[in-house]
Amino acid sequence: MVVAVDVQSISKQFVLRHTRSIKEAFVWIVKGRKGDLSQKFHALDGVSLQVEQGESVALLGLNGSGKSTLLKHISGVMLPDSGTVRTRGRVAGLIEVGAGFHPDLSGRDNVYLNGAILGMSEEQINERFESILDFSEIGQFIDTEVKFYSSGMYLRLAFSVAIHTDPEIFLIDEILAVGDEPFQKKCLAKIKELGDAGKTLIVVSHDLDLVSKVCRRGVLLEHGRIVMDGDVADAVETLRNRH
């Protein structure tokens, strides 16, 4: 068994409250600036997760439970305060709509920019450009600046570039929700195809029926901790019962 994603006991704190009253700040200064004025909380609290190559895993949990934060750590866009994250193979993350796109550049230029960020050479992008454009169905808007794109159009192009990088590990956050139904179906078929081809998938979604179809394993997060890790149907049922 080859471990594709190895998350060892990661923790991440965020600031809960940035602003303080002048009085609080004054007292803090007079008392010699002791302690931390900002209040923090754990978005991830000692999370460990091993995902084997070829596994399809759903990250489940209520709003704010830490799913996206965990995915961002796996993709490497966020670093943990403590603990380690290791990945094996090329990772393509579809985490935030439009992330990695430059608003003032055209769709075409962004394909090159995004492709390069995801590790493709110019030659590889040239070869795959038609296919990227074709899958995205962006058509004539490919030469429009992406700041004028709808969120669905962003998704189409980003998804299309990501699948053409031939990733070993594919991370997908909620963003599929912004696509229209035909495109969602097309994405799902592609995701299943990647799964069948032995790629590792980690999916975050509140669409529990959808993740049950795509993933076999479900990991349930609650307040930044993994509270269940097992069959996706069991994880979905546990989550539904907690509502």
Ligand X SMILES: Nc1ncnc2c1ncn2[C@@H]1O[C@H](COP(=O)(O)OP(=O)(O)OP(=O)(O)O)[C@@H](O)[C@H]1O
Contact between 19 and ligand X per CB under 6 A: no
Tell me which stretch binds ligand X (CB under 6 A): 48-56, 64-72, 144-152, 157-165. 64-72
Contact between 97 and ligand X per CB under 6 A: no
Q: How far is the CB of 83 from ligand X (least distance, A)?
A: 16
Q: For residue 99, count CB atoms less than 10 angstroms from its CB and return exposed for 0-12, middle for 13-18, buried for 19 or more.
A: middle
Q: How far is the CB of 63 from ligand X (least distance, A)?
A: 3
- Spatial neighbors of 146 by CB under 8 A, at least 6 apart, are 98, 101, 102, 103, 105, 106, 107, 110, 153, 154, 157
**Separation between Cα atoms, residue 172 and residue 191, nearest integer Å:** 10
Contact between 179 and ligand X per CB under 6 A: no
Q: How far is the CB of 109 from ligand X (least distance, A)?
A: 28
Contact between 66 and ligand X per CB under 6 A: yes
Biggest CA–CA distance in the chain, Å, is: 65
Q: Which of 168, 3, 171, 13 is nearest to 83 (CA)?
A: 13
Q: Considering beta carbons, is residue 66 or 115 the nearer one to ligand X?
A: 66
Q: For residue 117, count CB atoms less than 10 angstroms from its CB and return exposed for 0-12, middle for 13-18, buried for 19 or more.
A: middle
Contact between 67 and ligand X per CB under 6 A: yes
Tell me which stretch binds ligand X (CB under 6 A): 45-53, 59-67, 128-136, 162-170. 59-67
Contact between 63 and ligand X per CB under 6 A: yes
Q: Which of 55, 56, 61, 226 binds ligand X (CB under 6 A)?
A: 61
* Contact residues: ligand X, CB under 6 A: 14, 43, 61, 63-69
